[in-house]
């Protein structure tokens, strides 16, 4: 169950505790920071209470974990102040992996274990706090995945496990075999499917908080000029003006108001953007304001 005693933390199934806002590292290599600047960025995030950092083996063409690890090597004491999340299961065609001839999924036990061990080397740490299967694999064997997770836990290499982009049934099938901490899914005012396809309902029923990637629609909330984008942006801005809060803060607050207590990821290298996300933990929308944004997102009134 989620921990309601501290607004800046969420305690997941199995005892994993993450910050209420998670720093997404997907584009870290695009931020063009020196190793020392990366250390400073991490320190600023930690100072705001953003203690959880989301990675995947494939991010930055298999390069972001090493970039982050270089910063940790400069300031090893930071590791004890944070939680590191990573994902595995996608094989990209990339110059860093010349043996890959087709983009595909691999959730075999051997790949899960090898990928986790490589993430540890790249991140320069002895354990991951949370490891996720990145995408559901048509060839995924639930028993085999659970076995790989159990082995990694037994070896002390990964403390907790979860999935990403899984349907409710896929989550529950694996969760019956080994406790899963979370399901990281796409959700924003421009993509509300998890609210209506049982993803959030199923997680709330189990007391599992979802993690949210692309909460700002990959930036499209700020720039999309199609009818939906314009309509949703206007509704959010109206609420932002009423509350005298930043536009981005209102979006994060809208997401976090769901009863499953979603935990959104930031994706920006701008500390100011992370601050806006953190500020969203300090206020909530009225029910009418919340539904104004939902109405704009769906393009119609509730029945």
Contact 280, 256 (CB under 8 A): yes
| Per annotation, catalytic residue among 59, 62, 105, 191 | 59
105 is catalytic: no
Write phi, then psi, for 74 (nearest 5 degrees).
-75, -30
DSSP string, 209-270: PPEEE-TTGGGHHHH--SHHHHHHHHHHHHHHHHHT--HHHHHHHHHHTSTT--EEEE--S-
Q: Which residues are catalytic?
A: 59
């Amino acid at each position: 169950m989620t921990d309601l005693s501290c607004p800046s933390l969420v305690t997941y199934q199995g005892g994993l505790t993450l910050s209420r806002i998670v720093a997404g590292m997907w584009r870290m290599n695009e931020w063009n920071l020196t190793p020392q600047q990366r250390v400073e960025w991490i320190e600023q995030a930690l100072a705001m209470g953003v203690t959880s950092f989301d990675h995947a083996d494939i991010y930055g063409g298999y390069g972001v974990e090493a970039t982050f690890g270089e910063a940790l090597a400069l300031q090893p004491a930071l590791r004890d102040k944070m939680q590191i999340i990573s994902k595995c299961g996608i094989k990209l065609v990339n110059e860093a992996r010349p043996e890959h001839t087709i983009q595909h999924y691999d959730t075999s036990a051997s790949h899960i274990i090898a990928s986790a061990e490589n993430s540890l080397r790249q991140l320069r740490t002895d354990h991951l706090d949370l490891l996720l299967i990145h995408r559901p694999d048509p060839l995924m064997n639930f028993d085999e995945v659970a076995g790989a997770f159990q082995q990694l836990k037994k070896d002390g290499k990964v403390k907790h496990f979860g999935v990403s982009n899984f349907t409710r049934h896929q989550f529950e099938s694996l969760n019956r075999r080994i406790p899963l901490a979370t399901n990281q899914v796409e959700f924003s005012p421009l993509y509300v499917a998890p609210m209506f396809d049982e993803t959030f309902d199923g997680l709330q029923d189990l007391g599992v908080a979802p993690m949210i990637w692309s909460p700002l629609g990959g930036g499209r909330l700020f720039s999309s000029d199609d009818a939906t984008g314009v309509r949703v942006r206007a509704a959010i801005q109206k609420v932002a003006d009423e509350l005298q809060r930043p536009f981005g803060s209102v979006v994060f607050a809208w997401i976090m108001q769901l009863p499953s207590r979603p935990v959104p990821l930031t994706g920006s290298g701008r500390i100011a953007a992370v601050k806006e996300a953190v500020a969203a933990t300090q206020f909530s929308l009225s029910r009418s304001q919340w539904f104004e944004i939902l109405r704009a997102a769906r393009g119609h009134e509730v029945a």
